[in-house]
Amino acid sequence: MGDVSRPIGNDEGVTAPGDPATPPGDPRRDDAAGGDDAAGGDETLSWSPEPEPTANPGVPASSTPGATSWTPQDVDATWAAMERQLRQDEDLARAFTRYDRKAGRVRARQAPPEAWRAPVPVRARKDSNPLTGFITIVIVVVALIVSYDRWGTGKVDPSLAVALSDHAAMPRVTSQQGPPPGFEEQPERLLPAVSTAGLEGSYAFLDTHHDTPVTWSPCRPIHVVVDTAQAPDDFVDWVSHVLAEASELSGLTFVLDGPTTERVSFEREAYQPDRYGGQWAPVIVGFADESEIPELAGRTAGLGGASALEVGGKAGYVTGAVAIDTTMLAYPRYAGEPAYVQVLRHEVGHLLGLDHVEDTTALMHPHDSSQTTWGPGDRAGLAILGSGECQPTL
C-alpha cells in the first residue's frame, strides 16, 4: 500500500521549501526507489498555498494544521529576535537596577517625611489655678515698682523748679544793724492766693501772733541758698523741685540763690551783710550730722524752722534753715525719689510754719513715714500760711 498523506507535526521534522506548484513529497519516502512517485503518481500529498504573514515578522507561525512549516532560516531568525529581546530586557533590567540603587542612596540621605498629625489642643494642667497666674503678674509688677523706686534714675522734673538769682547782684549794704525796712517788698502779692476750698485734714502752726499764724510776706520773694558741702550732686535740683511744689500749694514766691559756702546751722545770724549784702540772710538748706547739729542725734532725720521778727505790732518770718541728717544718704530710694526728698518736704513745711500733727495721712506726722508727699491737711495749712499780709515794715 502506498504512503498516506498527513500533516507534519512539530516532533517529526520540517520539510525543505519547494516550488509551490509542485506538491511536496513525504520525507519518509525513498525518492530513489520511487522515482515515478516523485514525479507523479496515483496518490498525491496534500499541500496548501503560502500562508498569510504572521503578526510578528521574522517569527514563523506555529506548526499547526494549515500553518507554514518551519525552516532553518526561520529558526535562526527567531533565535536572533529572541536574543535581541533578551538583551533589551537585560539592558532595561540593569537600567532599573541602577535607578533603584541611585534612588535608594538619595532616599538614604534624606530624612523620611513625618506623618502629619492633627494638632493636640492645649490643656491646662490638672493642678493649675487661674489665681496662680494673677499672683505671678502681681509679683512681677511689684518687683518692677520696687526696683524702680530703689535703683531707678530718679531724675528731677525740670519743669518744676523755682527762679534762680545771682550772688553778684547782692543788695548794697547800707546798715550793719539790718536791711532797710521792706527790702524787695511789693505793694501787692507776687502770686495769687491759694484757695482752701475742698481741702479737709489736720494741720497746725508753729508760731502765732495775736491768735494769727506767723507767716512769710507774700509780697516779697523768699531767698534760698544751698549748702552743698556734704550733699549729692543733684541736691540743688531736688531743693528747687520741692520749693516749686511748696510755692504752688502756698502762693509764696521762692528764689534760689544757688550754692553757698556757709554751713547749715540754726545758730546763724539773720543778717549777714558781709556774705549776702544788705538783705536778710537767705534761707539755708543742707546736710549735717549730729556733731554739727546735736539735735540730729538719734532717730531725727531732719530739722527745719524759721526766724520771726516783730516790728510795730507786726510779726513775720525773715529767714530760716533746713538741715537733713547725712544718714539719709545711705537709705535706698523710695517712691521713685531719693529717700531724703521726703524729709526735705517735711522740713520745708516747718520752714513755712507748719507744726506736727497726729494725722497719719499727713506729711507733717512726726513719725509715720508712709506719706511721701503733701496730704489734704498739709495743703490746707500751706494755703493759710501763704495768705498772710504784706510786711513792709520788716
pLDDT digits (tens, 9 = 90+) for 358-384: 999 999 999 877 889 999 999 999 999
316 located within any domain: yes
Domain count across the chain = 2
The whole-number average pLDDT for the span 174-179 is 87
103 located within any domain: no
Q: Which of 318, 321, 320, 319 is nearest to 391 (CA)?
A: 318
pLDDT digits (tens, 9 = 90+) for 345-355: 999 999 999 99
User: Which run of H or of E encompasses 75?
Assistant: helix 72-109
Shared-domain flag, residues 76 and 194: no
Shared-domain flag, residues 23 and 163: no
CATH code, 219: 3.40.390.10
Shared-domain flag, residues 78 and 172: no
Of 62, 86, 110, the residue that ends a domain is 86
pLDDT value at residue 62: 46
Assign 3-state DSSP to the chain and report helix, strand, coil percentages, each to 5: 30, 15, 55
193 located within any domain: yes
Of 86, 120, 140, the residue that ends a domain is 86
Give how far Cα 350 sits from Cα of 18, 49, 209, 228, 347, Å. 150, 146, 17, 21, 5
pLDDT value at residue 260: 95
Shared-domain flag, residues 204 and 335: yes
Strand 283-288 with 222-227, pairing = parallel
Shared-domain flag, residues 23 and 162: no
pLDDT digits (tens, 9 = 90+) for 200-219: 899 999 999 999 999 999 99
Shared-domain flag, residues 189 and 312: yes
Task: Please give the grid coordinates belonging to residue 43.
Answer: 496518490
Q: Which residue has the higher pLDDT, 189 or 103?
A: 189
Shared-domain flag, residues 79 and 161: no
pLDDT band, residue 89 (cuts 50/70/90):
confident
pTM equals 0.63
Q: Which residue has the higher pLDDT, 267 or 104?
A: 267
Report d(CA 306, CA 283) in Å as an integer.
8
Q: Which structural domain, as residue segments, surrounds residue 296?
A: 157-385
| pLDDT averaged over every residue in the chain | 77
Shared-domain flag, residues 167 and 70: no
250 located within any domain: yes
